[in-house]
Amino acid sequence: MLKLAACLVMILSIPAHSQTPRTPAQDEAEIRAARTFSNKSIVRRNLLGVGDSLDADFVAVIGDGSFVPSREAYLKLFKQGFDAPKTALTYERIADTVEVSAGKPLAAERGHWIATLPDGSVAYTGTYMAMWRHTGDGWKIRSELYVTLTGAAR
């Protein structure tokens, strides 16, 4: 009887809303969807959409080697571009690989990026790496590193 009572206590203590564990494939799909949403937000000049994928302590090194120390500073750069649509570049990041850590709530995204001018011509291209972290709000980008490989100096 004591064993039965202990089993009932264990069963009843499991939250009804407990989630099934995520699989690496689900995590990868969520990260790729977040990247797609971010790219679409850039095209639409939607600053909130761009910020949606960034973690609170986000940092970056952008294509020219400049360090961007915060989420706010990164979004300020996008806002400056959004406020000048006749001259601003549009960026697209294309994930080549997404690897989810087996032991930590982290993932690595590697890919290439393209910056286009308002007329649609390519201004710059390069490679990038992003560190994603799984949070209570889903997958968020902790840091990014961009390297410009082609394009004229501006």
- What 3-state class would DSSP assign to 102? coil
Tell me which DSSP letter residue 152 carries.
-
Look up the domain containing 141 and give its range.
Answer: 23-151
At 90-110, the pLDDT tens digits run 999 999 999 999 999 999 999
> Is position 9 within any domain?
no
Distance CA 107, CA 99 (A): 5
Residue 7: predicted pLDDT: 47
Separation in Å, CA 78 to CA 24, 46, 61, 62, 85: 31, 9, 14, 12, 11
pLDDT at 12: 47
| Structural domain count, the chain | 1
Full 3-state SS string of 8-73? HHHHHHCCCCCCCCCCHHHHHHHHHHHHHHHHHHHHCCCHHHHHHCEEEEEEEECCCCCEECCHHH
Residue owning tokens 């039965």: 4
pLDDT at 22: 84
Flag whether 103 is in a domain. yes
pLDDT beneath 70: ranges in the chain: 1-20, 152-154
Question: Contact at 8 Å (CB) between 117 and 123?
Answer: yes
pLDDT at 19: 59
Amino acid at 64: D
Q: Supply the pLDDT for residue 118.
A: 94
User: What pLDDT does residue 3 have?
Assistant: 58
Is position 2 within any domain?
no
Please report whether residue 94 resides in a domain.
yes
Which domain CATH number covers 131?
3.10.450.50
Q: What is the pLDDT of residue 1?
A: 52
5 belongs to a structural domain: no
User: Is 6 contained in some domain?
Assistant: no
Q: What angle do CA 103, 105, 107 make, to 5 degrees?
A: 95
- Give a yes or no: residue 143 inside a domain: yes
On whether residue 7 sits in a domain, the answer given is: no
- pLDDT value of position 67: 98
